[in-house]
Amino acid sequence: MNQLSLPLGFIPLVDAAPLIIAKELGFAEEERLSFDLKRAASWSMLRDMLSFGQVDGAHMLSPVPVATALGLGGAGGRLDALQVLAVNGTVIGVSRALAARMSAAGHPFDFADAEAAGHALIAAKGAPLRIGVPFPFSMHAELLYYWLGALGVHAPQHLIVRTIPPPLMAEALASGEIDAFCVGEPWGSVAVETGAGALLLPGAAIWSFAPEKVLAVRHDWADANPDIAGRLMRAVWRAGRWLGASENHTTAAEILARSVYLNVAAEIIDRALAGELILSQTGAEARAPQFLEFHAGAATFPWRSQAEWIGMQIAARLGLDRSQAVTAARAVFRPDLYRRNLAGIVHRMPISSDKVEGGLVHAETLTGAEDSVVLNRNRFFDGRIFDPTGGKVTKS
Amino acid sequence: MTDRLSIVVVEKDRARALLIVDSLRETGDHNIFVISEETSLARRIAERQPDLVLIDLTNPSRDMLEELTLASGPMERPVAMFVDRSDAAQTKAAIEAGVSAYVVDGLRADRIKSIMDAAIARFHMFHKMRSELIATKAALDERKIIDRAKGLLMRARGIDEDAAYALLRKTAMDQGRKIADVASALATAAALLK
């Protein structure tokens, strides 16, 4: 056998699936790896476990390696994003009282139109709007600042974004500590089940192709262990491809539901995998396109333009030097390692490691080096287009 | 007394909190405050303006403290995690023991060292006790399920306890599984057939 045991960390969320599936369905074994999965209680704990060597790789919020590179939070060295683990998969929910007021004012809860939903939310609550997110550096927080900022609601006068651990989100909503939340599944659906709130929008309604989680490792570790890093990436990539096939969702939900992983009913997990959400206790349902992607549309490719967008958003909000932030952010996403390590199994590699974010209304086929690459719809709700500067480096 | 350090300990369990406070007091005359309530944790801590915050690494509420690393108001002092980047060994020891510390920026490392050493020792003990408790509970659970399976076999096949145990052990060995797993499968099947 000669398997190498590799300690990896995860947070109990649906988008930890690529690591869990790679272990459970033998994709790790195929690469002679045995994943020793450790469940962490918080993102800061997982980041520190990774930084200080208790795990060698982790399921991580995509802005965390960028924030770490900018010296925000954590005390360890640089973290790199080897690949994107999941695109989208978050939901925005509001308290029951607020949902009732929005309904009474005529909001249809279509789970699609971010502009209408934003206006309805602002009208129903007024300032300041208090919204819970799992972590200060998360796509959840970035999407909220982007969405409400575009609608004229700015922090800190009109918008207060608070960090609340996902398992406590429903309680915070019920106690009136927050008015709304943005959280990864299954926690939004759990809040619906417990009756604490109703779902308003999928994160994908704000940005239809947002890199949500990445596979993060220590920069030094990736350098010192190129062979293991490559095996890890291939195992996780194959698990993502398996998860991308809709016929596998039921099996995936059953595995994720186990007590050692999410410990949540498979039926609830299945909603996120299928992109069919139950919005409230009255049973209203919605089908959200591109709700959560593990594979399609080159979902796992770590685009430098994604890192740059994250770096720019954080720098603008915290008043950091933008060009330094862009350079630092771009360096932590590693399309170079993706190309090197997945060349044998990913036949379609994009030529550039940058793309225009927000520029695709429909899925589009790019002409690639050997074959064509299909990119999925990639739009911001307000139609803005983010053209990466490329930083100082134009090629990866 | 500008020399006294102000320390906040975030801990729900009162007995544990007292043990932590005791061991911190041994390192000097500090101003120690325990927070056991987790709602609005970041605000509660910011109000105290502590020099040092100690929290269990496995506490999910720890993410709330990350907000403190960003000074959002003119009166607030940004805090950094742990002493500083130079003392990686102590940071690593702290993580292994299961304690995380948030320290106000600019506080000298030597003023914190003895406190951190005491906290690490204390949390290390908690960590060990918890692991032992989990192991003990798992062993008890296994024992219970094996006893139940033995009972089922004794009744169904009219054999004595030793023979029932031998049968379980042989089946487990033949199938390459743990005795507890075989027992658990048997108990589940029996419940279904009832």
Model pLDDT for residues A65-121, shown as the tens digit of each residue: 999 999 887 767 899 999 999 999 999 999 999 999 999 999 999 999 999 999 999
Residues A13/A238, Cβ–Cβ less than 8 Å: no
Kindly indicate the confidence band of residue A395, based on its pLDDT and cuts at 50, 70 and 90: very low
pLDDT over 50 at B108, yes or no:
yes
Neighbours of A155 (CB within 10 A): 18
B79: contact with A, CB 8 A cutoff: no
With respect to residue B1, please indicate whether it lies within any of the assigned structural domains.
no
With contacts defined as CB-CB under 8 Å, which chain B residues touch A72?
Answer: 69-70
Contact A142, A192 (CB under 8 A): no
Looking at the structure, tell me whether residues B164 and B121 fall in a common domain: no
Pull the structure tokens for residue A183: 């959280």
pLDDT at residue B84, rounded to an integer: 47
Here the CATH number for the domain that contains residue B102 is 3.40.190
Rounded CA separation A375/A365 (Å): 6
Cα–Cα distance for residue pair B81/A76, rounded to 1 Å? 10
User: Is the CB of A52 inside 8 Å of chain B's CB atoms?
Assistant: yes
- Poorest-pLDDT segment among A70-74, A96-100, B19-23, B93-97: B93-97
Tally of domains in chain B: 2
> A204-213, A263-272, A384-393: which has the minimum mean pLDDT?
A384-393
CATH superfamily of domain region A90-209: Periplasmic binding protein-like II (3.40.190.10)
pLDDT at A373: 78
A335-392 residue pLDDT tens: 999 999 999 888 778 888 988 898 887 777 766 555 577 888 899 999 898 988 765 4
B100 beta partners: B55
Is B131 part of the contact surface with chain A (CB cutoff 8 Å)? no
Is 90 exceeded by the pLDDT of residue B85? no
Which residues 6+ apart lie within 8 Å of A240 measured at CB?
A: A18, A85, A294, A295, A299, A300
* pLDDT at residue A102, as a whole number: 95
Structural domain boundaries of chain A?
4-87+211-259+294-348, 90-209
Q: Give the distance from residue A138's alpha carbon to the nearest chain B alpha carbon, in angstroms.
A: 12
Q: Work out the mean pLDDT of chain A and round it to a whole number.
A: 91
Cβ contact, residue pair B66, A135, below 8 Å: yes
User: Does any domain span residue B157?
Assistant: yes
pLDDT score at A271: 95
Q: Is the pLDDT of residue B119 over 70?
A: yes
Res. A42: pLDDT tops 60: yes
Assess whether B160 and B120 both reside in one domain.
no
Winning range, highest mean pLDDT, from A48-52, A152-156, A257-261: A257-261
Last residue of a domain, one of B110, B131, B152: B131
Distance from CA of B159 to the nearest CA of A (A): 35
Indicate whether B161 and B127 sit together in one domain: no
pLDDT score of B21 more than 60:
yes
B163 and B127, same structural domain?
Answer: no
Q: Do A44 and B65 touch (CB under 8 A)?
A: yes
B70 and B156 co-located in one domain:
no
Mean pLDDT of the region B82-87: 52
Claim to verify: residue B167 and residue B115 sit in the same structural domain: no
Q: Are residues B68 and B121 in the same domain?
A: yes
Evaluate if residue B172 carries a pLDDT over 80.
yes
Domain that holds residue B32: 6-131
CATH of domain A4-87+211-259+294-348: 3.40.190.10
The answer for residues whose C-beta is within 8 angstroms of residue B48's C-beta and 6 or more apart is B6, B8, B33
Q: Give the pLDDT band (50/70/90) at residue A393.
A: very low
B70 touches chain A (CB under 8 A): yes
Give the A window 157-216 contacts with B, CB below 8 Å.
162-165, 167-168, 172, 175, 177
CATH of the domain at B168: 1.10.10.10
With a cut of 50, say whether residue B75 has pLDDT above it.
no
Peptide bond just before A186 cis, omega within 30 deg: yes
Under an 8 A CB cutoff, do A135 and B63 touch? yes
**pLDDT value for B79:** 55
CB contact under 8 A, B81 and A74: yes
B71 and B107 in a common domain: yes
Query: Which pLDDT score, from 0 to 100, does residue B73 have?
Result: 46
In a domain, B124, yes or no: yes
| Residues B79 and B19 grouped into a single domain | yes
How far, in Å, are A103, A242, B5, B149 from residue A8 at the CA level? 44, 20, 37, 36
Q: Is the pLDDT of residue B133 over 60?
A: yes
Q: What is the mean pLDDT of chain B?
A: 79
Same domain, B81 and B167: no
The reported pLDDT for the residue numbered A13 is 96
Using the beta-carbon criterion (under 8 Å), do A156 and B72 form an inter-chain contact? yes
CA distance B48 to A349: 53
* pLDDT of B80 over the 80 cut: no
Please state, in angstroms and rounded to a whole number, the distance separating the CA atoms of residues A337 and A221: 13
Lowest mean pLDDT segment, chosen from A174-188, A340-354, B88-102, B112-126: B88-102
Q: Do A163 and B67 touch (CB under 8 A)?
A: yes
Instruction: Find the mean pLDDT for residues B177-191.
Output: 89
DSSP per-residue letters across A75-124: SS--EEEEEEEEEE-EEEEEEHHHHHHHHHTT----S--HHHHHHHHHHH
Confirm whether A4-87+211-259+294-348 and A90-209 share one CATH topology. yes
Same domain, B123 and B160: no
Q: What is the ipTM of this complex?
A: 0.78
Residues B125 and B141 in one domain: no
Contact A136 B62 (CB under 8 A): no
